[in-house]
Chains A and B, each alone.
Chain A
Amino acid sequence: MTSSKTIVLRSSDGATFEVDEAVALHSLMIKHRIETGGADSTTIDVPEVTGNTLSKVIEYCKKHVEAPNSDDLKSFDTDFVKVDQAVLCHLAKASYYMNIKGLLDLSSKTIADMFKGKTVEQIRETFHIKNDFTPEEEEELRKENSWNLFV
């Protein structure tokens, strides 16, 4: 009988999550920590990620580790990123820090898709970003796009 080892992951706000080692290893950052870790490598701190986000990340890893060939994996991924913008942003950051390629690709692509068909102003509104160009810089940008576009 194989006993699966479990790992405890601790988020920035102190929430702890016990997961199967195989699931935790889906994060290359955790894999590296375990491989290079000292005596106590059963509890791993993930200070860049809050409890709420870590919980979702674990859900993603579980699905991809435990059922990688399931027919509904694609629809799982599609539904997984149907979240509000804040959660999406945190998922992207978490997948980056925890080095989970599949989730990084998925969240990055979802965010990139949000640019489609949006004007500059609409993008600023969507991502809550202020225009910090000087008028001169904006003029330079306008001149750079010198191609004739028949609108």
Chain B
Amino acid sequence: MPPKSKSNRRRSKFVPKPKQEWRVKQPTRNWLELPSDLTRNILQRVGVVDRLENAQKVCTAWREICKDPAMWRVVYMDAYAGVCADMFKHVVDRSQGQLLDLTIVGFCDDIDLLQYVVDRSSQLRRLEIIQYVYDFCEMWSDAFKNLPSLEELCLVNVKICKQDIEAAGRYCPLLKILKVNKKAARSCDADDDDEIPLAIGKNLTELTHLELIGNNMINTGLQAILDGCCHLESLDLRRCLYIDLGDLGRRCLQQIKCLKLPRDSIEELVYSGYDLCDSDFEFVSGDEYDQYLDYYDEYPDYDDYTAYDNDIDNLSGISLESLGEMMAFMSMFE
């Protein structure tokens, strides 16, 4: 005989009721009754891996939605988050030439993949590449030929040379936003990076937004940008350690609406698998700046990156606020 539970003792006759009467009423939430556009909106926000591996296998309705090339117009593919080369190509195939906005992270040296995209995506308007270190100058020149609709190009730790910038100027007439960002690193040949801003000033004169975080340009590079890119509204010079913002700083303030200076914070710039931040990087006050200039004069060939991280503590710069105050002060004497 089964042991009597409390509830059994209370009821003299236990007659089980039909199941639905016991169930607490829930508001209906039939997800398949959502308008198709809304479901598409939601599924478009699901990551590529989850969409291919899971979401599209849930039911036939979602499968049909995921078959639509329009669902693959805006794509983010991260090698560190499980996107392999075959999946990459599959996604490009799914878009059937309708790819408009592509971000790829961590496909470090696979030139085939980049070629696969550009050969099939002539409508691409925005391309962001993070951590692509294929050391092949002029690789971009061929790529740009196939991307005539490109409006925005963002490169984070990606090699590019002046010939590539020239090609962008030639083949991408709609290019308005360019970002070529990397982690700041001391270089023996500080003006190596200058060729990029020089090429930009000459070939990409229609730019409205330019970021060159961590670029080692010197003043000639900055001058070329200000001279050549007359439509520039936004300029990001964070961690450009070799520019000297005197007169050029005044010109920047006059010409550029949204300006970020070498010393400004880069805390928010963390990408999957790549971090532009240098948490040890602290600027000292203007008074201490001179003594640290002497420090650098003493070590002109210092190229040990690990130790350089510690030296970054000693660098200083002028904040936008101080520059503004300085300009205001100087203008009193004009």
**Residues of A that sit less than 8 Å from B by CB:** 52, 85-87, 89-90, 92-93, 96, 104, 108-109, 111-112, 115-120, 123-124, 127-133, 137-138, 141, 145-149
Contact = CB atoms under 8 A, between A and B. Distances in A.
15 contacts: A87-B27, A92-B34, A93-B38, A96-B38, A96-B41, A115-B55, A116-B47, A123-B55, A124-B58, A127-B31, A130-B59, A133-B59, A141-B63, A145-B52, A148-B84
Interface string B117-156: 0000000000000000000000000000000000000000
Closest 6 CB pairs of A and B: A147-B86, A112-B45, A86-B29, A89-B29, A86-B27, A127-B31
Contacts of A133: 57, 59-60, 63
Interface string B22-46: 0000111111101101100111011
Interface of B: 26-32, 34-35, 37-38, 41-43, 45-47, 50-60, 63, 82, 84-87, 90
B58 A93 contact: no
A146 B32 CA distance: 28
B84 A145 contact: no
Given A112-B43, A112-B46, A145 B53 contact: yes
Contact of A123 (B34, B41, B54, B82): B54
B59 to A, nearest CB: 5
A88 to B, nearest CB: 8
A127 to B, nearest CB: 5
A67 B42 CA distance: 27
A14 B45 CA distance: 34
Contacts of B51: 115
A119 B55 CA distance: 9
B30 A128 contact: yes
A148 B60 contact: no
Contacts of A108: 38, 41-42, 45
B90 A147 contact: yes
B84 to A, nearest CB: 5
A129 B54 contact: no
A129 to B, nearest CB: 5
Nearest to A133: B60
Contacts of B31: 89, 127-129
Nearest to B30: A128
A85 B29 contact: yes
A90 B29 contact: yes
A93 B31 CA distance: 10
A132 B84 CA distance: 29
A137 B60 CA distance: 9
A5 to B, nearest CB: 31
Given A89-B31, A93-B35, A146-B86, A120 B58 contact: yes
